[in-house]
Amino acid sequence: MPAWESLRNHQNHLIRKALEGSTFIAPTTSSAIASLTGSDKSLNALPVGYNDLGWMSDDGPQFAADVSSSDITSWGAVEPTRRDITSDVTTLQVGLQETNRQTIGLYTGADMTAVVPDPTSGEVAVSKPDRPPLRFWRVLTIGVDLADAGEIYIARFLPRASVTDKDDQAFQSNDDSALGWPVTLTAYMDSSVGYSERFFFGGPGWESLLSAMGF
């Protein structure tokens, strides 16, 4: 019998963390993300229209999956004999900390293209719509890790996402609190690209580990 040491294949250099990163949004009229990196393994410039949502809470972007299924049980079986996935929905929660045109618009649901500062005072007034329209965005989140050969980029792209929830906003002066704009976005199928979510992996550090990862 082979010894355990010859069977196991534990590779701690394949454990990844998102040391930093950003979430970018763009109108759905902007181009979808076709590739994250170029032939030189560096990040490609983002298409026109993508803007960084800026600093967020140290929880970082939080992706969640809500999967539902339908089971068929059979006489004599103690477990389902068939299971079909009926729903698989991805959500992205971001605790945005910067106050700017984008974060205010996402949180309030207002059309910020019609909002202009007062020409005299610079004051900005934003009215929450009585029935906010379902606005859709292209959303790209990039996480950056480091390996011996350089940076590793792990990204998740939602070609069609909308704000479906928002958390409470607190006006307080705690040392560890910022006035935030926490929202949750839900991913939907974009018929123009044929998917609701796509993962990207790249960078010089990633390329150097392809064999170790089994590619």
Per-residue pLDDT of 1-28, as tens digits, reads 789 888 999 999 999 999 999 999 999 9
- Cα(52)–Cα(176) distance, integer angstroms: 23
Q: The domain containing residue 148 runs over which residues?
A: 15-31+49-69+83-207
User: For residue 23, which of 159, 151, 139 has the smallest C-alpha distance?
Assistant: 139
88 has a pLDDT exceeding 90: yes
Q: Does any domain span residue 128? A: yes
In total, how many domains does the chain have? Answer: 1
Q: How confident is the model at residue 122 (pLDDT cuts 50, 70, 90)?
A: very high
103/119 Cα distance (integer angstroms): 22
In a domain? residue 124: yes
Q: What CA–CA distance (Å, rounded) separates 204 from 207?
A: 5
